[in-house]
Amino acid sequence: MENISMNKCDLLFDFYEIAQSNGFFANGIDETVVWFDMFYRPAKELGGFCIMAGVETFAQYIKNLKFSEEDLEFLKSKGMGAEFIDYLRNFSFTCDIWAVPEGTPIFANEPVIKVHGPIIQAQMLETIILLTVNHQSLIATKANRIVRAAQGREIIEYGSRRAHGIAAALNGARSAYIGGCCETTNVSASKQYSIPLFGSMSHTWVHMFDSEYEAFTAFAKLYPDDCVLLIDTYDTMDKGLPNAIKAFNDVLVPMNKRPKGVRIDSGDLAYLSKKIRRVLNEAGFPDCNIYACNSLDEYIIRDMLQNGARIDSFLVGERLITSASNPVMNGVYKLSAVEKDSRIIPKIKISENVSKITTPYPKLLWRLFDNETGKAIADVLTMEDEDLSDCNEYELFDPDYTWKKKTVSNFVARQLLVKIFDNGKLIYSFPSPKEIRNYCAEQIDTLWEEVVRFEYPHNYYVDLSQKLWNKKHELIDECFN
């Protein structure tokens, strides 16, 4: 599906990617085949894991990537060589790309995108891959945290007006749905992605009538099957709720209709919800839901429910659509190997900050699931010639504290990276957002509760195979000898 964010964006690169590609061409290494990994670095505010999203967006961008004469003239004006411009004019994408499917829980420092192909093409993909996966995974992750905090109650994405632009609103709504939100208020996102749409009324509707009761009755007559009344324009308990109940009785009951709900977005939401629930029950509307919104996030929702709030559905806006607690996902794109004369030459980034040392070589990413519980045990990075699918027993060890070891058995190992481009052709059929959302919920259930808790989550191990660990540390030793 083409996304509005991809229109008029064929030059969606950081300039150094173009400048370096021009330099690769000038130095005769433009067809050198390389391997890149995309992974993210940990952030406390993200918790123990993230939710993969954004793959379809960058795949559609790459599929349609071309350079217009206007684009080429612009690049020429920035000093790009004539031969490189001709290369771009006749651009034909030939890379192979693997990705972890959207909706999958992913962990820090493991490759979630793998790119194989000519250095110019692979280099130019860096920005589009990072901006789509970083942003959309961030929102899907935040949404999933909020959904889990609600303990089965509905979360409605309500953030378009606070999103950082049109693309962020649309992609954010899709990502929030993948992460577990049940509906969106964004009409365009609902249309594009078949996300269920939610709407009620605003305070403006109430102000446009001579009385609150008149506003409520007019709305109930217009939308008898979807009637949610906003009851805090003036006074929630003394005016709004009594007027809503009267409108329900005067308009909906004679039509044999039931009210969908009442909404509050100010005051002490937990306290008010308990009083509202009692009054609605006494009035004969125990099935009338209570909707609440007001700068909510997972922590506020958790605290309200711990205080006995009787809220059925939460509308969550700016703190979801911007992932306010951690608005940046630190995904990076790093070279892992170069092919020369049919040989793989590993590449590693050494840093004084040891957490930034990369893992070289083309790799496979495995997830081990316990056969008895169905729970994920650990993820393992291996060399491409290692096959864990037939292992009956496997020794895991901490890549940093190698004396910490554990032997596991009675498990199944599954590869997480799925090929989506083969020699430049898109070969993957993307599931619908609803299918991804269901898949995401299933995969979250494979994680232990200790892994998904908000504060101080259990450290889920992303291990290296012994062979890969040895190869990595041989390269580190070479750098210092």
In the chain, the domains with their CATH numbers are 1-150+323-347+419-439 (3.20.140.10), 151-321 (3.20.20.70), 358-416+448-481 (no CATH)
Single out the residue of 219, 189, 214, 184 nearest to residue 201, CA to CA: 219
Q: What is the per-residue burial (b if ≥16 Cβ within 10 Å, else e) of 357-395?
A: bbbbbbbbbbbbbbeeeeebbbbbbbbeebebeebeebe
What residue type is assigned to position 409 of the chain? Answer: S
The pLDDT confidence band at residue 236, using thresholds 50, 70 and 90, is very high
pLDDT at 2: 43
Three-state DSSP state, 115 = strand
On the question of pLDDT at 398 being above 70, the answer is: yes
357: tokens are 């040392």
Burial class (CB in 10 A: 0-12, 13-18, 19+), 214: middle
Longest dimension (CA), the chain: 87
State mean pLDDT over 287-312: 97
Beta bridge partner(s), residue 376: 369
pLDDT at 9: 59
Single out the residue of 49, 100, 50 nearest to residue 416, CA to CA: 100
The pLDDT confidence band at residue 186, using thresholds 50, 70 and 90, is very high
Q: How far apart are CA 389 and CA 382, in angstroms?
A: 12
pLDDT in tens, 309-356: 999 999 999 999 999 999 999 999 999 999 999 899 999 999 888 888
Q: Cα(first)–Cα(last) distance of the chain, in Å?
A: 52
Q: How far apart are CA 118 and CA 378, in angstroms?
A: 33
How, if at all, do strands 33-40 and 331-340 pair? antiparallel
- Sheet containing strand 183-184, strands side by side: 183-184, 154-157, 313-316, 289-292, 261-264, 228-230
The pLDDT confidence band at residue 5, using thresholds 50, 70 and 90, is very low
The pLDDT confidence band at residue 45, using thresholds 50, 70 and 90, is confident
The fraction of the chain above a pLDDT of 70, given in percent, is: 98
On the question of pLDDT at 3 being above 80, the answer is: no
Q: How far apart are CA 349 and CA 359, in angstroms?
A: 8
On the question of pLDDT at 7 being above 60, the answer is: no
Q: What is the per-residue burial (b if ≥16 Cβ within 10 Å, else e) of 26-44?
A: eeeebeebbbbbbbbeeee
Mean pLDDT of the chain: 95
